[in-house]
Chains A and B, each alone.
Chain A
Amino acid sequence: GAGVSQSPSNKVTEKGKDVELRCDPISGHTALYWYRQSLGQGLEFLIYFQGNSAPDKSGLPSDRFSAERTGGSVSTLTIQRTQQEDSAVYLCASSLVVTYNEQFFGPGTRLTVL
């Protein structure tokens, strides 16, 4: 694809509901990253994938957060029982390999939990 795409671009949900955020990386990129950007904050690393495996999930803020990647391509970040503090922009990035240092970012999903 031309770039990293994310859907939806905006999501409004009620507290307690589950949400799924999708990331479609650049074709051929084996490394995929998820970040959270809260208002006035920098980017908070959540998780990365090398292929379909996620060697380190320690960046996920709680067990309500999970992510998976299938076919070495699309990734889904799931937040269960959303809370108001989950409101943020969720950014996805991909790179050719995890050790190659240029990440290409998607436009993000703005999540608002009411």
Chain B
Amino acid sequence: AQTVTQSQPEMSVQEAETVTLSCTYDTSESDYYLFWYKQPPSRQMILVIRQEAYKQQNATENRFSVNFQKAAKSFSLKISDSQLGDAAMYFCAYKLRSGTYKYIFGTGTRLKVLA
């Protein structure tokens, strides 16, 4: 069965600095999607970034980028120039490209941004 592990329950970063959140996953499949979602105190989950496993190039979205290591089954999120508004829970998620509708989520990392 597929699993997603986020080993950092909580992380802190100074405003304007860079932080990396870790995510590892376990799957025997080769074609899948990986996601990072942000959940601020409002509870509204927001998609931050998405990576397709067949693409070798790491996805980037403005200050957010990923380091996708398919062989190592690792999918870390880097946040550059951290802002106070980045403070939230961050969830890593996995979904097979086809054949299932289920998303598998990790337990989340709480990110604190220090002024």
Contact = CB atoms under 8 A, between A and B. Distances in A.
Interface of A: 31, 33, 35, 40-45, 48, 50, 56, 59, 89, 91, 93, 98-99, 101-103, 105-108, 110
B50 A40 contact: no
A107 B107 contact: no
Interface stretch (B60-68, B75-83, B96-104): B96-104
Given A42-B106, A101-B33, A105-B45, 7 more contacts: A35-B105, A43-B103, A91-B45, A101-B50, A103-B45, A107-B43, A108-B44
Interface residues of B, number: 24
A91 B39 CA distance: 12
Given A42-B91, A42-B107, A98 B101 contact: yes
Contacts of B33: 101
16 contacts: A42-B4, A42-B108, A43-B91, A43-B93, A43-B105, A45-B103, A48-B102, A91-B43, A93-B45, A99-B98, A99-B101, A101-B50, A102-B50, A105-B46, A107-B44, A110-B43
Interface in B8-42: 33, 35, 37, 42
A50 B44 CA distance: 22
A56 B102 CA distance: 10
B51 to A, nearest CB: 11
B101 A48 contact: yes
B108 A107 contact: no
Of the candidates B4, B42, B103, B107, the one having the most CB atoms from chain A within 10 angstroms of its own CB is: B103
